[in-house]
Amino acid sequence: MTETEKKEGIKSTSTQSVEQQTRKASINFIVKDKSFEKFAMMMILGTTGDAMDTKMNFFFTFWGLNLLKKNFKPKVAGMPAPMKGMAANMFKKRMKKFGIEDPWAMIKDAVDSGNMKLYPCQMTMDLMGIKREDLLDWVEDPVGAASFLEMSNGGQIVSL
């Protein structure tokens, strides 16, 4: 990269209008796994984003959609099979020590404040035969990939 290119790169970002900047603020996550790790990342990022007043949309696709099912218990992926469930409980206990008493209640707070939104993937629901009533009542209505890309327009996309 030459010096000129670098300077121009900086210029290009500096001309963006205030409107552009506002739309930039959203962070849009793809959640594709059902592991406890992904659940915890979603919870920590979403609630931290809420505290920072940053809009965060989470799009749950493939196995990730399981995380929005009523009473679903995520297991720790990075553990040998027999310990996956136990490890999740262990993490939950340790999290309590750090003030995370009820992760879902914290997520719901962030959702209620309007900063965090949880979107089920419509195609995943169709492919896996999952019905709206299988999912938590307070998540958004299902959307497709096109809607996700549209809402992400101008913001960030992060595939967790």
CB distance 37 to 76 below 8 Å: yes
Six-digit token string for 16: 């963006």
Distance CA 160, CA 146 (A): 19
Contact letters (x/-) for a copy of itself, 73-112, by CB under 8 A?
-----x------------x--xx--x--------------
- The closest of 17, 59, 22 to 38, measured between CA atoms, is 59
26, 39, 42, 49: which one contacts a copy of itself (CB under 8 A)? 49
Distance CA 149, CA 130 (A): 22
Using CB under 8 A as the criterion, which residues of the chain lie in contact with a copy of itself when the complex forms? Answer: 1, 5-6, 8-18, 20-22, 24-25, 27, 30, 32-34, 37, 40-41, 44-45, 48-49, 51-54, 61-63, 78, 91, 94-95, 98, 123, 126-127, 144-146, 149-150, 153-154, 156-160
